[in-house]
Structure 1
Amino acid sequence: MATWIRTYDDESENRSYFELDDEEWALRHIDLQGLPRQPVTAASLAEVIEIRDRGDLAAMAAYERRYGVLAEGAVRGWRETDGAAEITRQEFESTWAAARETLDADRTEETT
C-alpha cells in the first residue's frame, strides 16, 4: 500500500512530496521551490522505467529537463525528520496535478 508524505526544509523553504511504496522507495516525487512554491520536479518511476527500457537516452534527458530527476533510493527515516508528515492521497494528487500542469505549460512556452 502506498504512503504519501510531505517534507519541508525551513532554510530553503522548499517542499518535497513523495508517493512511497511498501519499501519506502519513491513512486512519484514532487519538489516545490521557495515561497512561490514553484514546481521544479514532478517525476514518476513508471515513466522513468518506461523510457529506460526503451534505451532512449535523448528521451530520458528530455524527461529530466521537463520533470526533474526522481529521488533515488529509499526515503527511510522521514518520520524522524522535522518538517515531515504523512498526507492524504488527495493532497498528493492535487499537488501532482498542479505541478505537472505548471511544468507542462513551462515547456510549451519554451518551445513557442
Structure 2
Amino acid sequence: MLRLFRAHWDEEDILFYFEVDAEGWVTRQIELRGPELVPIAAASLTEWQEAQKAGKLSRYEATYGMTADSPVHEWEGYDPQPLTLSDFESVWRQARRHLELTR
C-alpha cells in the first residue's frame, strides 16, 4: 500500500512530496525550493534503477535528482502531512515538465 505525504525542511526551505511503499521506501520524490516552489527534483526509484542498469544514472540524476536512500521509519524531525493521489500527481506532472524544460 502506498502512502503519500509532504513535509517541509526549514533549513533549506524545501517542500518535499513523497510516495512511499509498504516497507517505508520512497518510490517517488518531489522537491520544491523557496517561496516560489521551484522544482529541483522529481525522481522515481524505478526510473533511477533503470537508468543505473542502462549506464545513464548521471544523466537521470542531473535531470530528475534521486529519491531518499533510507526508509521513512528511520527519519527524525519531520512532520508528514497526508496527500491525496490527485494532489501528488498534479505536483509530479508540473515538476517533471519544469525539470525537462530547464535541464
| TM norm structure 1 | 0.83
Alignment gaps of 5+ in structure 1: 108-112
Larger radius of gyration: 1
The residue number in structure 1 matching 2:86 is 90
Taking the TM superposition and a 5 Å limit, the aligned residue runs for 1:1-112 are: 1-54=1-54, 56=55, 59-76=56-73, 81-82=78-79, 84-107=80-103
1:12 offset after TM fit, Å? 3.2
Deviations 1:72-107 (A, max 9, x none): 11012669733x211111111001000000001102
1:94 maps to amino acid: S
2:42 maps to amino acid: A
Contact 1:79-1:85 within 8 A present in 2 as well: no
Alignment gaps of 5+ in structure 2: none
Secondary structure of 1:36 counterpart? coil
Which structure: greater helix fraction?
1
Corresponding pairs, count: 103
2:60 maps to amino acid: Y
| TM norm structure 2 | 0.90
Q: CA-atom RMSD, angstroms?
A: 1.8
**Would the alpha carbon gap of residues 79 and 72 (structure 1) be closer, same or farther in structure 2, given more than 3 Å must change?**
closer
